[in-house]
Amino acid sequence: MKRSTNQEKFLDTLIRLNTKIEELGKINILNNHIYSEYFFRDLLNIVYGYSLENHNKKQKNAPAFDLIDNTNKIIIQVTATCKKQKIEDTLKKEYLTNKMEEGYRLKFIFIGNQNNNIKNKNFSNPHNILFDSKKDIILTQDLCEEFL
């Protein structure tokens, strides 16, 4: 009974967070985007066993990614823009070439409005960074399935 209640609370929290981010984003209130970086850093560390740190603490508004795990060689962009163009704009950033050479894998976690078809698209990846849309795009649904 308690597990079921915890699962329901978790799902409700993620859904409320997504809705809030989406609606506030429409009126250009973006402070929840920043808080989300810390929330998802901690959540992904627990759910996937990562050792993520907020890269924006070292480099304010860092280009291409927000979270970094130097142990598992993972970089993650936390974004509310769940569109192909957003992913391709990130993949073409020169800033990623050093991370590509060091063997880092790029992941995206989408907050706010979710596009469940995004994983099935093909993406231009000019720097050949490790990225597989089916595995490296994390949607709310993926987190819910992991939690269940």
pLDDT at res. 61: 74
pLDDT at res. 134: 95
- Measured distance CA(112)–CA(16) in Å, rounded: 9
Domain boundaries defined on the chain:
2-147
pLDDT at res. 3: 66
pLDDT by 10s per residue, the chain, length 148: 566 777 888 888 888 888 888 777 777 766 667 788 999 999 999 999 999 999 988 877 778 899 999 999 999 999 988 889 999 999 999 888 888 899 999 999 988 888 889 999 999 999 999 999 999 999 988 988 887 7
How many Cβ atoms sit within 10 Å of the Cβ of residue 126?
A: 12
- DSSP symbols for 70-95: TTTTEEEEEES--SHHHHHHHHT-GG
Pairing of strands 137-138, 74-79: unpaired
pLDDT at res. 131: 96
By 3-state DSSP, what share of the chain in percent is helix, strand and coil, each rounded to 5?
Answer: 55, 15, 35
